[in-house]
Amino acid sequence: MALTINQKHSIQETLKNSLHNKFSRYNPEPAVMPFHTRLLGKDRLALYSFIHSLNTSFGTSIFEPVALALGKTMFDNSLNQATAGKLISKKSEEVIQDIMNNLIAGRTKPNKKEEIERIREVCQEGEMIVVKPTKVDVCFSNNDNSFYLFDIKTAKPNMGGFKEFKRTLLEWVAVTLSENPKANINTLIAIPYNPYEPKPYSRWTMAGMLDLEAELKVANEFWDFIGGEGAYNDLLDCFERVGIEMREEIDEYFSRFK
């Protein structure tokens, strides 16, 4: 299912607004780089600095609002920067720690379905503790009590962070089930594009911590899941159209730094 005309228009307007907001707030870093400036020129250096700044905020300023625009036709509810829950049971914490210990030691392999059911069994047992879990980048839900919570990561996440990624996904499960123990809860890592194309994404680095089938969606797997089949390619076309439409405006903006 390709994106509708309205979806494409909404996404393109989101991109334009994001860039305009970035332009209005952006000031090149004042650091003096005489060798770089003389070699590349002020305008190219300013463009490089802008791209670097944009990369750091791409998730919140572009990927999240675009994901929401896509998800509105596939899901009943869409939110970004959402709170998964506020309470976790003491027993759930113990189960999560046991899962993490076994994964880190290599005694077990990740199996998200089993992990969720282990947490579900104790999600309301023991003392309930107030927590502040990591915010959910984008959250989709349906009226059939199914939830899909995504943590959007950079294209090349730090290998050392996978333990924390896994713990975050398990904690989202626990706090959601503490309030809604029958929920069909899915918590996943989303990587917006594959920097290794046309080669497959290097998933092996995550295999020890993540259930790759149930906890990871890369590039078209993510975008087509939330927007329908063909959404990824349509989305790339939207980005290209905006880039072409705004090319003169972008060139004019950076010409002021010459």
| Residue 99's CATH number | 3.40.1560
The verdict on 57 and 146 lying in the same domain is no
Of the candidates 124, 118, 113, 111, the one whose C-alpha atom is nearest the C-alpha of residue 96 is 118
Domain that holds residue 149: 75-227
What's the Cα-to-Cα distance from 171 to each of 16, 192, 216, rounded to whole Å? 35, 23, 16
Q: 44 and 133, same structural domain?
A: no
Same domain, 53 and 101: no
Q: How far apart are CA 194 and CA 202, in angstroms?
A: 9
pTM of the model: 0.88
Structural domains in the chain (count):
2
DSSP 174: H
My answer on whether 221 and 244 are in the same domain is no
- Indicate whether 46 and 152 sit together in one domain: no
Tens of each residue's pLDDT in the chain, 258 residues = 578 888 899 889 988 888 888 788 777 665 677 887 778 787 777 777 777 777 777 778 789 988 988 888 889 999 999 999 999 999 999 999 999 999 999 999 999 999 999 999 999 998 999 999 999 999 999 999 999 999 999 877 776 678 899 999 999 999 999 999 999 999 999 999 998 888 888 776 677 899 999 999 999 999 999 999 999 999 999 999 999 999 998 888 777 776
3-state secondary structure of 81: strand
